[in-house]
């Protein structure tokens, strides 16, 4: 259907009666349920979560989900067993909710779009983001860019605060590396593979803990002139290309423009949440990596598969 025909079709919706609206709503809900069923049927469990056996056999269905029985222990499971989405209801709304995640909708707006309560929308958001939060690059080689960025520490949602409350994010009493901020180390290679780590403290020990298992021995680490990176590279024998804080920031093929651009997109994207709770920062970092990983190719189906 071309755009003109679609616009005409949309205008004709205004003439539908209440019973016709109900039929349309039922049909759309059925189609969305079918999408979920096809996804789950195409991605059956590979092993029993109770005894780790791979001897699973189809065993009918329950609550609209295909069920499987283990030949070894006799226990049953379904494609959602052991996933963050297990035991969640209203599965027919998940594609619509996944689209709201892709669009970066605030959870109150998402609740209105999906016709659920704001508490349900918030619960679903963090269930959907639980798996993407740990899905990131685990091994890097070639030219690797690393840089730190900072997020204001937030106790949003807590009833008793050790300081006066800030409205809609606010500003901290200190800047940068102060106690009011949480350091996040972002590591990105030239292919766009990204990993990020919330650090307890921006020092050599914590930087070494996250970078050592990540970098290949022949990798070249590009960073700014911070001493923590030089100390790590010297201790681990990793090739290091520091860039000056003033003057030209590019030395041939060596620069940190890739990771700096990612940091900028991340910070700007975070702004419309008006200050997120620090305890959920991991989920939001995973959410952004999910959007960056797929780019324009992202879809509700891909988002659902990532959540499962």
- Tens digit of each residue's pLDDT (9 = 90 or more) over 82-99: 899 999 999 889 999 999
Nearest to 34 by CA among 91, 89, 118, 79: 91
Q: What is the DSSP letter of 198?
A: E
262-290 burial: b if 16+ Cβ within 10 Å, else e: bbeebeeebeebebbebebbbbbbbbbbb
Provide the pLDDT for residue 220.
94
- Distance, C-alpha 144 to centroid of its chain: 22
Q: Quick one: tokens of 96?
A: 């619509």
Provide the pLDDT for residue 160.
82
Provide the pLDDT for residue 27.
54
Provide the pLDDT for residue 168.
63
Q: Note whether 107 and 219 are within 8 A (CB).
A: no
Q: Note whether 155 and 132 are within 8 A (CB).
A: no
Nearest to 104 by CA among 281, 304, 302, 273: 273
So where are the chain's domains?
A: 26-45+54-130+284-308, 136-155+172-275
Cα–Cα dist 121/263, whole Å:
27
* SS3 call for 111: helix
Backbone angles phi, psi at 168, to 5 degrees: 50, 50
Cα–Cα dist 215/236, whole Å:
10
User: What's the fold here for domain 136-155+172-275?
Assistant: Nucleotidyltransferase; domain 5 (3.30.420)
Provide the pLDDT for residue 259.
95
293-304 burial: b if 16+ Cβ within 10 Å, else e: beeeebebeebb
- Tens digit of each residue's pLDDT (9 = 90 or more) over 30-63: 455 566 777 777 788 888 988 999 999 999 988 8
Cα–Cα dist 143/261, whole Å:
16
Query: Does the reported pTM lie above 0.95?
Result: no
Helix axes 300-307, 94-102, angle to 10 degrees: 100
Provide the pLDDT for residue 30.
46
**Residues in the chain with pLDDT values less than 50:** 30
**In 81-212, where do the E strands start and end?**
143-152, 181-189, 194-198
Within 8 A by CB and 6+ apart from 87, the residues are 80
């Amino acid at each position: 259907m071309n755009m003109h025909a679609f616009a005409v079709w949309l205008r004709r919706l205004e003439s539908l009666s209440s019973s016709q609206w109900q039929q349309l709503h039922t049909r759309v809900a059925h189609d969305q349920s079918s999408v979920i069923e096809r996804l789950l049927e195409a991605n059956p469990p590979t092993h029993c979560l109770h005894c780790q056996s791979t001897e699973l056999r189809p065993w009918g269905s329950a609550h609209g989900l295909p069920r499987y029985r283990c030949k070894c222990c006799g226990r049953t499971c379904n494609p959602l067993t052991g996933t963050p989405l297990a035991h969640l209801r209203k599965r027919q709304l998940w594609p619509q909710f996944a689209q709201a995640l892709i669009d970066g909708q605030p959870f109150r707006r998402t609740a209105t779009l999906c016709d659920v309560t704001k508490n349900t929308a918030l619960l679903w958001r963090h269930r959907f983001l639980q798996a993407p939060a740990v899905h990131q690059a685990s091994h890097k080689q070639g030219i690797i860019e690393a840089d730190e960025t900072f997020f204001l520490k937030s106790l949003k949602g807590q009833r008793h605060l050790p300081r006066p409350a800030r409205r809609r994010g606010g500003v901290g009493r200190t800047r940068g590396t102060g106690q009011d901020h949480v350091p996040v180390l972002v590591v990105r290679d030239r292919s766009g593979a990204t990993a990020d780590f919330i650090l307890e403290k921006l020092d050599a020990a914590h930087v070494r803990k996250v970078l050592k298992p990540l970098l290949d021995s022949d990798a070249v680490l590009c960073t700014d002139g911070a001493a923590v990176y030089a100390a790590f590279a010297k201790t681990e024998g990793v090739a290091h290309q520091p860039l000056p804080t003033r003057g030209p920031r590019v030395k041939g093929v060596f620069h940190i423009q890739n990771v700096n651009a990612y940091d900028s997109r991340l910070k700007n994207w975070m702004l419309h949440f008006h200050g997120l709770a620090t305890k959920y920062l991991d989920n939001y970092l995973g959410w952004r990596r999910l959007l960056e990983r797929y780019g324009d190719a992202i879809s509700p189906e891909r988002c659902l598969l990532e959540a499962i």
